Structure 1
Amino acid sequence: IDVIKEFLERSEAEKRYGVVLYQGGVPEGRIIRVVRIPGVDVEACGGTHLNNTSEIGKIKVVRGERIQDGVNRLIFVAGRERVEELEKREERRLKLIVEKLQEKFSIKNVEKDAGKTLQRIAKMFSVPLDKIEDTVEKFMRDIPKAERIEARNVIDACEKLFKEWKRSRKEKKRIPSELVEKILSDYSEDYKGYKLVFVPDPNISKDYDSIAIAEELARAERIVACIRDDKGLVFSASRDIEIDLREIARKTGSLLGGGGGGKERLARCGGSRLENIQKAMEEAKNLIKSQLSG
C-alpha cells in the first residue's frame, strides 16, 4: 500500500480527517504534514515514513504494553535481519529451557514457534519474559525427585511442572505431628516459665515449609521458636506471650547482611552472609530472653 505524505492547511486537514489526525499529539503551525495509509490510518506527523508498506519487510511483534485505558503500545522488530536475529535468540532460550526441563520430564515434541512458546510460558508463570529461565529453574529445584514425567511438548511440561510445584508446596505445609514432637524433645529449653525452641540444623526443615513448622510449634502455650532454614531464620511465638519478633528479626537480619520483618508473633530474617547464622541465632536468643524478662 502506498504511504501518502502531503502538507495541508490545518483547517483543511481537520475538515477532511477530523481529530483522528492528532492521536500521536497535536503539532504546531498553520501548515501540518499529514501521513496517510489509505484504508488503514491517517496521522499528522513530521517523522520519517516509508513510501510503501512493502518496504517494511518482515515484522514481528515482541509484546504489548497497556499504557492507559484504550491505549496500548506494541513492541516489535522490523526488517528481515532483525527478525531473524530475534528468532535465533528465542530458539536458543527455548533450547536452554528444554534442557532444564528434561532433567525431570520426557518431552516428545518441541514447539516450532519459540517466541510464541516463550510468551505462553511467561503468562503461565506470571513472570516477565526475561525471568522465564530463572523461574523454571526455581520450580524444578522445589519439586521432589520422582520418576520422569511424560509431556507432549514444552508447554505441557511447564503446565505439569506448575501443578507439581503447587502440590509440593501444599505437602510441605502439612507438618507431621512426629516432627513437632521431635523438635520439642530435642531442641527446647525452659526459661522463666517459657519454652524456648532453637533449631540450628537446616536439615530438620528442608523437606517442609519452615514457616509452617514455626506456626505449628506456636500452637502450644508459652512458647517462642527460632528455626534455621536455607534462607535464614524463622521466628514464632504463641498468642499468650507479649513479644515483638519483628524487631528481633530486623536486628538478627543485619548480622546476616540483610534484614527481617513480618508480624509480632511470626517473622523471618535473612541475608547474603549466612556464614554468620550461628552468631545470629545466639543474638536472637539473647534478644528473646531480654523481651521475655522485660
Structure 2
Amino acid sequence: RRVAELHSKPQKKTEKKSKVPTHFDLSELPETELLFYKEPYKREFTADVLWKEGDYVVLDRTAFYPEGGGQPSDDGVLKSNGDKFEVLDVQKSGDVVLHKIDSENGVRTGEKVKGEINWEKRSAYMRHHTATHILLGALRSLLGDHVWQHGVQKGEESSRLDVSHHKRISEEKIQEIEKLANKIVFQDRKVNSLWMDRNEAEKKYGHSLYQGGVVPGRKIRIVDIEDWNAQACSGTHCTHNGEVGLIKIINRERIQDGVERLVFASGLPVLESLQEQEQRIKKSAETLRTSPDEIDKAVQKLFDQWKSAKKEVDNLRSRVADLKAEKLEKNSESFNNIQILAEKFEDGDSDELIQIGEILTNNNKNMVVILASGKTSANIIAMAGEKALEEGINCGEIASEAAKSIEGGGGGKPELGQGGGGNVEKLEEAIKMGVKICKKQASGDNNG
C-alpha cells in the first residue's frame, strides 16, 4: 500500500468555509453528546434521530468524529430497521454534529439508529494525531522552542507537519528527531485528555498550548502526553503513546521561507513502506546481479564503469569532431576579411555542432561557422573567431534570424548563437539566411 502523496505547495491560512448547507436552521436543536471524547475506543453506539433534512442527519449523541483540527471526519454506517446507510461525511455546526449519509430517504426523525465507525480509519487517525504531538515535542526539544506548528494534516497512511524553523533541517538532525520521537513512543507514556479553564491551562502549560492556533471558549480541551507535550486540541488520540508504533519521517521539504514540511507515518504504514523499499532493493539487486547487502558497492561499480565509458565516448566524439572540422575547413568561403563556413548535417546535437565550431574558430580566428542539423527537430549554431568578431560579426543575431526560417527562435552572444525550430525541411533556407546576415555584418550593413 502506498503512503499518501505529498503536497508541495504551502497552505495559505484562510478562514475555512463550512461544508454545512447555510439554509439549515439548527438553532432549536440541543447540543450533540460527543461520545468520541468520553470513549475514544467506542466503535458502535445507538442514538435517536433528532432531525433530518435531505441527506443530512442529526443524532442526540454520536461517536463519529466531525472534521476539524487537521483531522478528517470519520466514516462508517448507520443502521435502521434492517437497512444500512453509508456515513459519507461528518461536520460540526456550533454544538450540533451533522452526518451526511448516502440516501435522502433512509432514516426518519424520532427513530433509533445504530452507528458503526470505520475503526481501521479512525484508529489510523488517532495514531497519526498522537504521533504529531510526539514529533512536535521532539522538534522543539532538539531544535529549540522557536519551532512552532505552522500547519498539519492527518491521513490514514501518512500525515504532514509544517513547522517554522530558520534553516533547512539536515538529514543527521532528522535522524536524531526520529530517534527521540520513537524513544518517547517506546516509553508508552500516558496521554491525558481533559477540559480545563483557559486561564488555568495557560498558567500551567504556557502559550505553547496553542500550536494549532488559539481555540475559542472559556474551557479548552487539553491533550497532555505525560511530561512531554501538551496542546489545546480537539482531535482523537490514543490513551497511551505506545499504541502509535514506529514513527518514520518519509520526506521533508522547504515549502516557503522559514517553513519546513515533514511527511511522516506511524504504525503499520511504516512497516508497509519499509517492505516496499525492501522489495525495490531486492529487485535492483537482482538486476545488478548482487545481494541486497552489496548493492551500494554494485551501484558504485556501475557508476564508475559509466563514467569510464562516458569518457571514452567523449574522447571518440572529440576525435570525430576533429576529423569533421578538418574535412569542413576547406569548404569555407572568403568574404571581405572573414572566412564563412556553412554546413548541414543529417544528425548531431547542438553540443556536437558547438564542438566542431570551437575547433574551427580556434584554428582560424577569421572563421565564422554556421552549422545546422536535425531529423525530427532543427538545430542551428553560429560561432565566430576573435578576428571575425572584430569585423562586426554577431552570432546571436545570426542564429536569431536564421531560426525564423525553421519556425523557431534563437539568440546568444556575439561569439556564440544558438537556435532551433520545428520545420526541419527549411534548414537549408535557414543556413542561407544565416550566411546572408553574416555577410551584411561583415560589410558593415547592420540595418537590414
Q: TM-score range by the shorter chain?
A: 0.5 to 0.7
* Whole-angstrom distance in 1 between the partners of 2:407 and 2:267: 48
Equivalent of residue 344 in structure 2, options 197, 200, 207: 200
Aligned to 1:225: 369
Equivalent of residue 395 in structure 2, options 240, 245, 248: 245
Cα distance change, pair 153–197 in 1 and its aligned pair in 2 (3 A): same
- Residue pair 1:77, 1:83 contacting (<8 A) in 2 also: no
* Whole-angstrom distance in 2 between the partners of 1:111 and 1:271: 47
* Whole-angstrom distance in 1 between the partners of 2:219 and 2:307: 58
Which consecutive residues of structure 2, in runs of 5 or more, have no partner in the other structure? 1-187
Report the structure, 1 or 2, having the larger strand content: 2
* Whole-angstrom distance in 2 between the partners of 1:59 and 1:39: 19
- Aligned-pair CA distance for 1:65: 1.2
* Whole-angstrom distance in 2 between the partners of 1:19 and 1:280: 70
Which structure has the greater CA radius of gyration?
A: 2
Report the structure, 1 or 2, having the larger helix content: 1
- Aligned-pair CA distance for 1:196: 1.1
* Whole-angstrom distance in 2 between the partners of 1:90 and 1:68: 33
Could you say what secondary structure the match of 1:153 adopts?
A: helix
Aligned to 1:280: 430
- Residue pair 1:245, 1:264 contacting (<8 A) in 2 also: yes
- Residue pair 2:349, 2:379 contacting (<8 A) in 1 also: no
Aligned to 1:234: 381
Residue-by-residue CA offset, 1:30-83 (whole Å, 9 max, x unaligned): 444333333543333344544444554566533211356775322234563686
- Residue pair 2:321, 2:352 contacting (<8 A) in 1 also: no
* Whole-angstrom distance in 1 between the partners of 2:240 and 2:434: 71
Provide the TM-score with structure 2 as the length reference: 0.44
Amino acid of the structure 2 residue aligned with 1:212: Q
Which consecutive residues of structure 1, in runs of 5 or more, have no partner in the other structure? 118-150
Could you say what secondary structure the match of 1:243 adopts?
A: coil
- Aligned-pair CA distance for 1:184: 0.9
Aligned to 1:111: 292
Amino acid of the structure 1 residue aligned with 2:379: G
Amino acid of the structure 1 residue aligned with 2:386: R
Q: How does 1:61-210 map to 2 (within 5 A)?
A: 61-67=249-255, 71-78=259-266, 80=268, 84=272, 88=276, 91=279, 95=283, 107-109=288-290, 111=292, 152-158=297-303, 160-161=305-306, 164-165=309-310, 178-186=323-331, 188-202=332-346, 209-210=352-353
Residue-by-residue CA offset, 1:139-183 (whole Å, 9 max, x unaligned): xxxxxxxxxxxx942354245535654775587568875543322
* Whole-angstrom distance in 1 between the partners of 2:297 and 2:369: 46
Could you say what secondary structure the match of 2:206 adopts?
A: helix
Amino acid of the structure 2 residue aligned with 1:287: I
* Whole-angstrom distance in 1 between the partners of 2:220 and 2:408: 58
Residue-by-residue CA offset, 1:235-268 (whole Å, 9 max, x unaligned): 2112332233223333444554543233222121
Aligned to 2:76: none
* Whole-angstrom distance in 1 between the partners of 2:320 and 2:339: 20
* Whole-angstrom distance in 2 between the partners of 1:207 and 1:57: 55
Provide the TM-score with structure 1 as the length reference: 0.62
Amino acid of the structure 2 residue aligned with 1:38: E
* Whole-angstrom distance in 2 between the partners of 1:14 and 1:72: 27
* Whole-angstrom distance in 2 between the partners of 1:191 and 1:237: 14
Task: Say which structure, 1 or 2, has more relative contact order (CA 8 Å, 6+ apart).
Answer: 2
Cα distance change, pair 72–279 in 1 and its aligned pair in 2 (3 A): same
- Aligned-pair CA distance for 1:233: 1.8
Residue-by-residue CA offset, 1:101-130 (whole Å, 9 max, x unaligned): x6xxxx3425379xxx9xxxxxxxxxxxxx
Amino acid of the structure 2 residue aligned with 1:191: F
* Whole-angstrom distance in 2 between the partners of 1:3 and 1:173: 69
- Number of residues of Structure 1 aligned to a counterpart in Structure 2: 249
Amino acid of the structure 1 residue aligned with 2:337: G
Indicate the percent of aligned positions where both proteins have the same amino acid.
31
* Whole-angstrom distance in 2 between the partners of 1:49 and 1:236: 68
Residue-by-residue CA offset, 1:189-225 (whole Å, 9 max, x unaligned): 222332111231155x679743233233223232211
- Residue pair 2:408, 2:419 contacting (<8 A) in 1 also: yes
